Amino acid sequence: MMDRKARIAVLVSGGGTNLQAILDAEKSGVLHSGKVTLVISNKRDAFALTRAQNAGVATAVIGKKECGGQEGMEKEMIRTLEEYRIDLIVLAGFLSILSADFTRKYDHRIINVHPSLIPSFCGAGFYGLKVHEAALAKGVKVTGATVHFVNEIPDGGEIIAQKAVTVEAGDTPETLQRRVMEQAEWIILPASAESVCAEIMSRKE
């Protein structure tokens, strides 16, 4: 029998708030063409693993240290992704750059959410709070989030969705980070996962 839903793996490194947004979207029906079947963390103590377990999703810890470096880590990841017959990989706060070989293998099948309106405040070195610190230092009035396909260039793949968020007077990197998550990331990441899953499934028919 053919799977009726695309099988999603979410790659995480930390708390897993974006993972939670995807799991919630699955529950509410926003995400109905795909199903989270695997969560991989490169950090053993990531709270995202607990979120996955609470949702009954299989988990794996695959880090550079355990695998003797980047190449070993990616080899083990590919083996695990194939074992679970994964169709789409979602990077949700995954703090490890993937090699060109890896991204080519999964061309147009890896998506990432970045906490700015690309091409602003993106690329190597821009992650987490650093993005919001840079936006505030520049004095921008509008920021937001971008979901894009992943290629070998950090934040360089084609854009799937963007949503703008207003910068408010008195914002700190932390308050801005929270607002960008709530008003942009948690909305466009599940919606983008849905549109890419629907596309993957239409090609399978």
pLDDT in tens, 69-92: 999 999 999 999 999 999 999 999
How many C-beta atoms lie closer than 10 Å to residue 13's C-beta?
20
Stated pTM of the model:
0.95
Are 169 and 124 in contact, with CB atoms under 8 Å apart?
Answer: no
Q: How does pLDDT run across 101-160, given as a tens digit for each residue?
A: 999 999 999 999 999 999 999 998 898 999 999 999 999 999 999 999 999 998 999 999
Task: Name beta bridge partners: 61.
Answer: 41
Q: Exactly one of 108, 114, 132, 148 is catalytic; which is it?
A: 114
pLDDT tier for residue 205 given thresholds of 50, 70 and 90? confident
Which helix (H) or strand (E) segment holds residue 54: the answer is helix 47-54
pLDDT at 97: 86
Question: Which is nearest to 42 in space by CA: 16, 8, 7?
Answer: 16
Instruction: Domains for the chain: give ranges and CATH numbers.
Output: 6-204 (3.40.50.170)
- 114 catalytic? Reply is yes
Answer yes or no: is pLDDT of 30 > 80.
yes
Lowest-confidence pick of 28-32, 38-42, 71-75, 122-126: 122-126
pLDDT at 2: 53
pLDDT at 155: 92
Are 6 and 33 in contact, with CB atoms under 8 Å apart?
Answer: yes
